Amino acid sequence: MIPMRYEDEVDVFKCNFFHKASNMEILNEIKCLAGVERPVIFPMRAFSDEIIDFLNELSERIRRNEVLRRNEEAAAFGFWCRKSHLLDMKKKYDNEENKIGLGLIFHIAPSNISTVFAYSFAIGLLSGNANVVRISKRNSDTAMEICGLLQELFRNPKYENIKKRTSIITYEKNKSITDGYSDLCNGRVIWGGDKAINEIRKSPLKLMAKEIIFPNRYSLCILNTLYILNMEKEELEILAHKFYNDTYNMDQNACSSPKIIFWSGGNSKEKREAQNKWWKFVYKEASKLYNLSENKVSLKYSTLCECAINCEEIQRVKRYDNLLYVADLKEVPANIESLNGRFGLFFQYELINIKEIESYVNERIQTLTYAGFDKNYLINFVIENHLKGIDRIVPIGQALDMNVMWDGMNLIERLSRSIM
């Protein structure tokens, strides 16, 4: 149990927050979904056995839950926080024994991906911190189900320390509330678009508080033409399923879902044959798994029309009924962000030489997924060509895999301190 002298921090938290809030009624707008309303700020050792056991039990409950185990996002999070994986992370990323949390971390999670709040919370815990996690009022059923499991775990006296250091909350956008939490925290983690981040950053932090932001980022995919041409049917089915998980599974909303598919190697005829082969398998996979609503069809078609009007680089579009549109680019637009593919709208470009990619990479490019290349070759390509972007290089199928290394940062190191 937490020593009694730390219980006083609950009152300090309450007094500071009331002082920052313009009136006490504002606090009534905050709904606690899991944990406590006012967490105790009690730094712990990073990767403690207590935290690892807690997250492992959460993993087991997710895998037993009828709703969550059928949800790919939730199942992936449950797999991520199993004990064996956490111990592997500890071995790989915790290279200093005397590492302790910063104190209190205020996480602001996005509304478009339901499990980001859970990953952010878990990383905050693994770093040794108390955590306030704000999720959107528009939170999904998946997020609420995970919060329910957390509440169940918190009923176990074994996890009383973690409960007292956890506050998963929701409230409508309210600067006074964000001001209050920001003033209290030792670190702030913001997931969201540029506009949302700029608004949140109007709430000042303490001078020594750390901040991690995850603004708009974009990703690319590169396919080896000859590799695709030479793949057997079973291999292509597996690869197409992995590509589906990287893209359709999040409606292409994730920053790590590719904006453009690059084709490298082979001549023009071979590229066209490989493309026809590839997209037929992707279409087949989407037709088995994807829930394409009428609203998505309408939004995808209107997006395609907007792109066709505003992007003169689009050469032609091939439709595989409403499930899949593939737009060929004669050039890559200067503003890659304008290629807003979603719900099964993809853009592809044929590279004359892989070195062309240099021209299209900037600091906004986060992940490069690939098939048919050696990973070390691609890593060396980024380093030796002094590219400002591409922080992750992973095989197709791993675009959405979360890690404590994200956007080129070791999140455990950023959210903890070392005692020398």
Dump the DSSP string for 34-86: EE-SS------BTT-HHHHHHHHHHHHHHHH-TTGGGSHHHHHHHHHTSHHHH
The single-letter DSSP state of residue 131 is E
Q: What percent of the chain has pLDDT over 90?
A: 68
What percent helix, strand, coil does the chain show, rounded to 5?
A: 45, 20, 30
pLDDT at position 3: 42
Q: Residue 374, exposed/middle/buried by CB under 10 A (0-12, 13-18, 19+)? A: exposed
Task: Concatenate the DSSP letters of all residues of 386-403 into one string.
Answer: T-S---EEEETT-TT---
Domain ranges, ordered by start, for the chain: 16-216, 218-395
Non-local CB neighbours of 180 within 8 Å, separated by 6+ positions: 16, 17, 20, 21
Query: Which residue matches tokens 């994807």?
Result: 290
Quick count: other Cβ atoms within 10 Å of Cβ 64? 11
Lowest mean pLDDT among 71-80, 99-108, 259-268, 366-375: 71-80
Assign 24 a pLDDT band (cuts: 50, 70, 90): low
**φ, ψ for residue 304, nearest 5 deg:** -60, -45
* CA distance readout (Å), 12 to 19, 42, 147, 225, 415: 11, 13, 26, 62, 22
Non-local CB neighbours of 215 within 8 Å, separated by 6+ positions: 192, 193, 194, 197
Contact assessment for residue 89 and residue 367, using Cβ atoms and an 8 Å cutoff: no
Instruction: Considering only residues 95 and 118, tell me which one the structure prediction assigns the higher pLDDT.
Output: 118
Query: Which residue matches tokens 């921090």?
Result: 9
pLDDT at position 17: 58
Kindly state the helix (H) or strand (E) to which residue 367 belongs, with its residue range: strand 365-371
What's the alpha-carbon Rg for the chain, to the nearest Å? 23
For residue 20 the two structure tokens come to 């920052």
pLDDT of residue 20 exceeding 70: no
Could you give the 3-state DSSP secondary structure of residue 95?
coil
Could you give the 3-state DSSP secondary structure of residue 218?
strand
pLDDT at position 335: 83
pLDDT at position 4: 38
pLDDT digits over 125-173, tens only?
999 999 999 998 777 788 999 999 999 999 999 999 999 999 999 999 8
Instruction: Considering only residues 290 and 111, tell me which one the structure prediction assigns the higher pLDDT.
Output: 290
Non-local CB neighbours of 119 within 8 Å, separated by 6+ positions: 77, 80, 402
Query: Tell me, what amino acid is at 179?
Result: D
Write b or e for each residue in 215-224: b if 16 or more Cβ atoms lie within 10 A of its Cβ, otherwise e: bebbbbbbbb
Contact assessment for residue 395 and residue 371, using Cβ atoms and an 8 Å cutoff: yes
Distance CA 53, CA 35 (A): 17
pLDDT at position 261: 96
Say if pTM beats, i.e. exceeds, 0.75: yes
Instruction: Considering only residues 83 and 26, tell me which one the structure prediction assigns the higher pLDDT.
Output: 83
pLDDT at position 394: 96
Distance in Å from the first CA to the final CA of the chain: 27
Residue range 16-216 in CATH 3.40.605.10: yes
Quick count: other Cβ atoms within 10 Å of Cβ 88? 11
Please state at what angle helix 49-64 crosses helix 72-80, rounded to 10 degrees: 150
What average pLDDT does range 284-294 have in this prediction? 93
Contact assessment for residue 390 and residue 363, using Cβ atoms and an 8 Å cutoff: no
Query: Tell me, what amino acid is at 21?
Result: A
pLDDT of residue 293 exceeding 50: yes
Distance CA 304, CA 291 (A): 19
What average pLDDT does range 245-263 have in this prediction? 91
Query: Which residue matches tokens 């504002």?
Result: 26
Note the CATH number of domain 218-395. 3.40.309.10
The single-letter DSSP state of residue 337 is G
What's the chain's average pLDDT? 89
